[in-house]
């Protein structure tokens, strides 16, 4: 369907019954390359049948098949702009090296602009309802949730991950096929979306709930890949372990203490001297890297290593890229948009790091052009930061793809690892991303946050926004990256007179020596226990459990129990992860997703669902100590809202509550407030030391009060055989009226029977299951945890 409005050519096509493609062009059909949308999705286009589009003044009104208005476009404009690229014009680059806390950077002094082509600056104006809430657009620094009434700048930066999509509380979402810088500007009465550099405006309107929108996002941009099973265990990291022996000692001490662990992370500066970004290790500190990693593997501990897209001039990796003319204009960062460059980068990483046994990648600083803002005593106004950092990206990248570098970097790592080791799943912890990155085994994280209670609370909303934006795997630095403030910054700089910087502003200069930080760390750990990746990391102070005391101590025991809780839930967690990969689900879910008709639940930004059964209510204020470490007296309780439409069980006490009300529950430091939806089936295991350990028995907890189902998933945990259908699923169905549990094997992987312990109320029954259907009748009693 085609029509013209306000001098703009508009074309509409339907891809699915709930997906409408809207394309606005001016002056013909300019060349357009989409790195984002799957070719297979576009093959489904046909004339709209489930949507009607009609002119509405200078704008358009898009309605559902029923005739109900879905989206009102007030105006669309495309203003011609020149696409400027910067080069040295063939001259040798004049390089200025800058050392920042976020890595070594280079500035080229003799870059000159030249016009490469023409494009458009686009503006889409929408007429939204007065009380219409807008969510999504990825993660900002402040933890925004409902975007109405504010201005949001979408550009890549440490602590912000823009996503080109929005979801309306009225039941529709939009995915913009735009990889340039963007701005969402809403005054409450007018809503504009600005697109910095586009060939046309191209977006996909999706009707339905949050889950429908996420499924459409995956249909359009690619399915999520399943991470290795061990990625869902406990990950210990620090800035930075300095030797191979130190890596092994961390893993061995965990094993000696009986504290579960699955991965030790090797952060930056593995290279020798100042060879920043070199993908080889310093042989004095890592004399036998292969043996080091083999020792870790014998302890059933995996490894992850930090790699950077930028390299110091003169190091061997840099020279290879420079000689092949595969660097960007900063003469430091490799050109991830070039297939040849991606292949060269992989071969450098493979030569020593991968071949010697590292299991996973930490692709850090994948928004490589933020140095001008990552300095200074004061945080600049948002508009200035957008111009400063955005223009830096546009200086070295095609402006039409200024937000897409991290995705191409992840694509190169994923595709080349699959060629080199087809049987080894990719895990890439990366700081930046954009639509489509979920295809490439990527986990995004909140960036280098600072330790404060306000920051902890903001992390929750960040995760919810990323989930609504279609990202299945997201996490945080447990305990925040920067623990302290200027005192710690000066210590890190080894300069007691160093000027303060705006981003190093944690409240706890004494780190783990301050009981106030210990309390905050534990609350962050409890929150992190219910995220896709469970990872402790940061600078200023060590985070390993033994730094918080000894076994039997207050803080130590709580940390140990939180880690053990994570492992007890692994059968549930891995099944939820499999649904995210194969069923287009998400691991953390906003209450808006499951309870859109509950006006209170829909707007909450400090509670979330882990999967669809566990309601997590993190504690985000101190109850024991202030930030100086002085004791305070506050009630150790938290008021939590329980969504309507379901009954809820307190995970710890077993008390059952009716939904649609706020309840005040125990929130002592020893646990996080946690609820289970009635009708849920939660598979749990007894204590395990690592994620790949075969459980002797799986406990099946049934929470009666409604019908329910759960599919228990398992596979080898390491390879891509699941893509060939080599996995196991067992369906558990609970009929609440009949008090009956049915167990059905839908696919089988094992060649042995499995032992289940069925727990419901006071029922505690062991069964041996090896296929077929089993029905178990349960005498109804009150559930007790």
Please list the active-site residues.
Answer: 364, 367, 448
Nearest to 401 by CA among 348, 467, 328: 328
User: How many C-beta atoms lie closer than 10 Å to residue 422's C-beta?
Assistant: 9
Classified as helix, coil or strand, 516 is helix
User: How many C-beta atoms lie closer than 10 Å to residue 320's C-beta?
Assistant: 16
Where is 600: in which H helix or E strand?
helix 599-602
State how far the Cα of 24 lies from the Cα of 582, in Å rounded to an integer.
33
State how far the Cα of 650 lies from the Cα of 640, in Å rounded to an integer.
11
Q: What are phi and psi of 343, to 5 degrees?
A: -65, -40
Report angle CA 311, 312, 314 to the nearest 5 degrees. Answer: 115
Q: How far is CA 720 from the centre of its chain?
A: 21
Question: What DSSP character marks residue 498?
Answer: P
For residue 29, give both structure tokens.
């059909």
State how far the Cα of 336 lies from the Cα of 135, in Å rounded to an integer.
30
Residue bearing tokens 């259907």:
773
Angle between helix axes 405-420 and 339-349 (nearest 10 degrees) is: 60
State how far the Cα of 653 lies from the Cα of 666, in Å rounded to an integer.
9
CB of 139 within 8 A of CB of 462?
A: yes
For residue 443, give both structure tokens.
């986990």
Classified as helix, coil or strand, 480 is coil
For residue 467, give both structure tokens.
């989930």
User: What's the burial of 301, exposed, middle or buried (CB within 10 Å: 0-12/13-18/19+)?
Assistant: buried
Angle between helix axes 244-257 and 289-298 (nearest 10 degrees) is: 10
State how far the Cα of 219 lies from the Cα of 437, in Å rounded to an integer.
13
State how far the Cα of 696 lies from the Cα of 690, in Å rounded to an integer.
14
State how far the Cα of 726 lies from the Cα of 714, in Å rounded to an integer.
10
Query: Can you list the alpha helix ranges (DSSP code H) found in 299-438?
Result: 316-323, 339-349, 382-396, 405-420
State how far the Cα of 16 lies from the Cα of 357, in Å rounded to an integer.
44
State how far the Cα of 183 lies from the Cα of 615, in Å rounded to an integer.
33
User: How many C-beta atoms lie closer than 10 Å to residue 51's C-beta?
Assistant: 22
State how far the Cα of 206 lies from the Cα of 20, in Å rounded to an integer.
7
**Dihedral class, residue 67 (left if φ above 0, else alpha if ψ from -120 to 50, else beta):** left
CB of 581 within 8 A of CB of 225?
A: yes
Q: Where would I find the beta strands (DSSP E) of 519-653? A: 534-536, 588-589, 608-610, 614-616, 637-642, 647-650
CB of 338 within 8 A of CB of 396?
A: no
Question: Exposed e or buried b for every residue in 81-116, given b needs 16+ CB within 10 A?
Answer: eebebbeeeeeebeeeeeeebbbbbbbbeebeeeee
Q: What are phi and psi of 405, to 5 degrees?
A: -60, -45
Q: How far is CA 450 from the centre of its chain?
A: 18
Q: In the chain, count of helices (H) and strands (E)? A: 15, 40
Given CA atoms 748, 753, 757, 760 in this order, what sign does their dihedral have? Answer: positive
First and final C-alpha spacing in the chain: 58
């Amino acid at each position: 369907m085609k029509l013209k409005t306000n001098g703009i050519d508009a074309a509409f096509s339907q891809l699915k019954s709930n997906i409408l493609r809207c394309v606005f062009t001016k002056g013909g059909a300019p060349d357009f390359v989409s790195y984002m949308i799957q070719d297979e999705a576009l093959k489904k286009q046909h004339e709209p049948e489930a949507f009607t589009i009609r002119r509405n003044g200078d704008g358009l009104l898009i309605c559902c098949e029923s005739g109900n208005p879905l989206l009102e476009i007030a105006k669309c404009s495309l203003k011609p702009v020149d696409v400027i690229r910067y080069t040295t014009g063939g001259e040798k680059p004049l390089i200025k090296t800058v050392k920042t806390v976020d890595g070594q950077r280079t500035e080229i002094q003799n870059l000159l602009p030249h016009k490469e082509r023409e494009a458009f600056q686009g503006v889409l104006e929408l007429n939204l309802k007065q009380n219409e809430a807008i969510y999504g657009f990825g993660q900002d620094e402040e933890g925004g949730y409902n975007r109405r009434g504010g201005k949001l700048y979408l550009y890549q930066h440490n602590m912000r991950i823009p996503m080109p999509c929005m979801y309306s509380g009225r039941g529709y979402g939009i995915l913009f096929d735009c990889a340039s810088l963007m701005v969402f500007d809403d005054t409450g009465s007018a809503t504009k979306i600005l697109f910095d550099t586009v060939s046309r405006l191209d977006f996909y309107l999706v009707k339905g709930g949050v889950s429908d929108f996420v499924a459409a996002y995956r249909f359009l941009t690619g399915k999520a890949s399943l991470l290795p099973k061990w990625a869902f265990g406990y990950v210990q990291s620090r800035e930075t372990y300095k030797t191979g022996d130190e890596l092994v000692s961390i893993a061995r001490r965990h094993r000696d203490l009986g504290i579960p662990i699955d991965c030790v992370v090797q952060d930056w500066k593995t290279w020798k001297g100042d060879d920043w970004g070199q993908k080889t290790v310093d042989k004095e500190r890592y004399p036998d890297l292969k043996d080091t990693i083999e020792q870790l593997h014998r302890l059933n501990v995996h490894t992850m290593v930090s790699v950077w897209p930028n390299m110091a001039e003169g190091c061997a990796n840099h020279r290879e890229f420079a000689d092949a003319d595969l660097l960007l204009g900063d003469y430091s960062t490799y050109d991830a948009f070039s297939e040849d460059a991606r292949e060269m980068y992989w071969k450098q990483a493979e030569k020593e790091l991968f071949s010697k046994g590292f299991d996973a990648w930490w692709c850090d600083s994948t928004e490589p052009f933020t140095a001008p803002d990552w300095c200074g005593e004061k945080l600049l106004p948002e508009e200035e930061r957008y111009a400063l950092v955005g223009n830096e990206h546009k200086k070295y990248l095609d402006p039409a793809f200024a937000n897409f570098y991290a995705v191409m970097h992840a694509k190169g790592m994923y595709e080349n690892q699959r060629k080199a080791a087809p049987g080894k799943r990719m895990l890439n912890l990366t700081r930046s991303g954009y639509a489509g990155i979920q295809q490439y085994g990527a986990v995004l994280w909140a960036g280098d946050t600072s330790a404060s209670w306000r920051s902890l609370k903001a992390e929750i909303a960040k995760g919810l926004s990323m989930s609504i934006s279609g990202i299945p795997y997201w996490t945080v630095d447990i305990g925040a990256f920067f623990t302290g403030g200027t005192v710690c910054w000066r210590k890190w700089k080894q300069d007691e007179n160093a000027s303060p910087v705006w981003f190093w502003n944690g409240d706890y200069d004494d780190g783990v020596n301050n009981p106030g930080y210990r309390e905050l760390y534990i609350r962050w750990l409890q929150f992190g226990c219910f995220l896709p990746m469970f990872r402790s990391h940061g600078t200023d102070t060590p985070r390993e459990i033994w730094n918080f005391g000894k076994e039997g101590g207050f803080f130590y025991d709580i940390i140990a129990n939180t880690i053990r809780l994570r492992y007890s839930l692994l059968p549930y967690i891995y099944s939820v992860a499999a649904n995210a990969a194969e069923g287009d689900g998400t691991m953390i879910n906003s209450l808006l997703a499951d309870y859109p008709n509950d006006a209170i639940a829909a707007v909450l930004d400090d509670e979330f669902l882990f999967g669809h059964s566990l309601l997590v209510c993190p504690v985000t204020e101190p109850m024991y100590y202030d930030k100086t470490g002085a004791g305070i007296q506050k009630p150790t309780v938290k008021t939590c809202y329980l969504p309507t439409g379901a009954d809820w069980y307190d995970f710890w006490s077993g008390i059952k509550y009716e939904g649609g009300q706020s309840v005040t529950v125990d929130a002592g430091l020893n646990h996080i407030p946690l609820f289970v939806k009635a009708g849920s089936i939660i598979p749990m295991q007894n204590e395990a030391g690592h994620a790949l350990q075969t459980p002797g028995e799986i406990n099946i907890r049934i929470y009666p009060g409604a019908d329910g189902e759960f599919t228990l998933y398992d596979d080898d945990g390491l390879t891509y055989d699941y893509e060939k259908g080599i996995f196991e699923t067992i369906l558990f169905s609970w009929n609440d009226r009949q008090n009956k549990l049915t167990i059905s094997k839908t696919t089988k992987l094992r060649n042995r029977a499995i032992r289940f312990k069925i727990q419901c109320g006071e029922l505690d029954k062991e069964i041996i299951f090896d296929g077929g259907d089993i029905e178990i009748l349960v005498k109804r009693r009150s559930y007790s945890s």
